[in-house]
Structure 1
């Protein structure tokens, strides 16, 4: 009976497991994320703070990480479950891609405001998350907190289209090979591999998203259109700049993927046992 629940976890289990997974990875690997943001900033790594105050913006992560991840996995597991009874049930890769895309659309409603505050704090080490939140609302209104929403989706959806089918595929192969479901630690390794592949491919989209969120009001990047930003970076800084911060991004997401998916699977198993 437990195995059925692990394959199709309830809404409550998905909610709690997703929250635990999101908080675990964001808190443990925050300095790597700060390095990545400062490397991608148009002002450069050192002018954005270098190695100082590596936990700038951590407050916004504490507030937004758990609900963002919880909403994602609730949507992901719900869509997977619904598709299980549809005409697409035999095309698992498409189901996983569609479910992950739906999860990103919903979770970004929660994550983007915290991401805006977090990245601005990371690139301005002398400012607090609360100060940046108040300044953003005062100068740009609440709409300013959603600057980069669509470019974040444009980054996250391709990322998820790559990551989740690979994660599910690796788990299925490993499960078939050993004759039983993968353990949480095995799922975490599959997540690390899937995440590193997706992270390296989608780095230019992440660079553009960072520039859009950090841009001053009135700048080209502040308009939120991802392709003009990519073209401007390529024209003014060269192809190499489109992959700024790729190493810490891949490192952050591969280690983070291991923690994220491992924590998610472990939480599911634990909650199924006690709830």
Structure 2
């Protein structure tokens, strides 16, 4: 999923940056992040569905989960909560990558040099943690919709939000925010740190081969 995301995001970003003036680069980064997220969702949603069903002890193994979900619910069962997933992950990807890219641009201008590996990792951690906190309510609703299976406790995204608010109160939308911010912050640090290091290595090898 990450490979698909980066493979779509990077060329989309380059193309959009050519289309938008420099002062609107944030729009290019937002849009490219959303496009990359939409492409990777074709892989991320089924794996997320299987993972969460297994965490709820509905299945013992991933192959069993895939086989039984398809048998009982059809292929669409592997894409349960797809709309809510997009409502969470498209804003997440767009915001996270926009914050990351804009912070890197600002830092590079202020420092008047390229960023070091540790600096990329720190900016990635901040972008991930901030976006993770911001999108926690969407993640709560996405999880509820994905794990309901055939029970159909919720009729859709709006009904899910209304039911949670009515039965559990507004605080329920922030359940799990601390571990979410922690692991997404750590993940962002590793992802962006490795991404930028890999890009620099590949760029050096390309230049040497010319």
Query: TM-score by structure 1 length?
Result: 0.71
- Aligned counterpart for 2:82 among listed residues 134, 149, 152: 149
Moved more, 117-126 or 199-208: 117-126
Aligned partner of residue 231 in structure 1, secondary structure:
helix
Other-structure match for 2:5: 72
Aligned-partner Cα distance in 2 for 1:149–1:248:
23
Map of 1:15-30 to 2, 5 A cutoff?
none
Higher relative contact order (CA 8 A, sep 6+): 1
Number of the residue aligned with 1:235: 166
Equivalent pair of 1:100/1:157 in contact (CA under 8 Å): yes
Give a deviation string over 1:238-272, Cα, whole Å, max 9, x none: 21211111111000101111011111111212223
Matched, 1:159 2:96: no
Q: Deviations over 1:107-135 (max 9, x none)?
A: 10111111111111122286221221111
Q: CA RMSD in A?
A: 1.7
| Aligned 8 A contact 1:208 1:229 in 2 | yes
Higher helix share: 2
2-structure distance, mates of 1:125, 1:145: 14
Query: Shift of the alpha carbon at 1:71?
Result: 1.1
1:219 lines up with 2:148 in the alignment? no
Whole-angstrom CA distance in 2 between matches of 1:175 and 1:93: 16
Q: Give 3-state SS (helix, strand or coil) of 2:149's partner.
A: coil
SS at the partner of 1:180?
coil
Give the deviation of 1:208 after TM superposition: 0.6
* 1:130-209 correspondence to structure 2 within 5 Å: 130-209=63-142
Superimposed CA distance per residue, residues 34-61 of structure 1 (whole angstroms, 9 cap, x where no aligned partner): xxxxxxxxxxxxxxxxxxxxxxxxxxxx
- 1:88-127 paired onto structure 2 within 5 Å: 88-124=21-57, 127=60
